[in-house]
Amino acid sequence: MQFRIEHRFPGSPTSVAAKMFSPDIGPILSERMSTIIEVEGLAQTREGDLLRARTRYLPVPLIKRVGPKRVEPRWMEWIAEFEFDETSGKGSFRNIPTTAQVARLMDNHGTIELHAVPGGETLRVLEGELRIKVPLLGRIAEKIIHKNAVSILDDEAEVMRALLAQKPHPG
* pLDDT > 80? residue 156: yes
Q: What gap in Å lies between CA 45 and CA 147, rounded to an integer?
A: 31
Q: How many CB atoms lie within 10 A of CB 22?
A: 13
pLDDT band at 162 (very low <50, low <70, confident <90, very high): very high
The domains of the chain are located at 2-165
Q: Which residues, 6+ apart, have CB-to-CB distance to 169 below 8 Å?
A: none
Does the reported pTM lie above 0.85? yes
The runs of H, that is alpha helices, within the chain are 13-20, 25-32, 100-105, 137-165
Q: What gap in Å lies between CA 143 and CA 151, rounded to an integer?
A: 12
Query: What's the CATH architecture for 2-165?
Result: 2-Layer Sandwich (3.30)
Identify the CA nearest to 36 among candidates 3, 76, 80, 89: 76
Q: How many CB atoms lie within 10 A of CB 52?
A: 15
Write down the pLDDT at residue 154: 98
Q: What are 43-91's pLDDT values in tens digits? A: 999 999 999 999 999 999 877 766 777 777 787 899 999 999 999 999 9
Q: What are 84-133's pLDDT values in tens digits? A: 999 999 999 999 999 998 899 999 999 999 999 999 999 999 999 999 99
Q: What gap in Å lies between CA 8 and CA 121, rounded to an integer?
A: 7
Cα angle 23-26-27, degrees, rounded to a multiple of 5? 115
Residues in the chain, total: 171
Q: What gap in Å lies between CA 77 and CA 102, rounded to an integer?
A: 10
User: Between the CA of residue 143 and those of 7, 8, 59, 137, 140, what are the distances in Å?
Assistant: 20, 24, 17, 10, 5
Write down the pLDDT at residue 70: 78
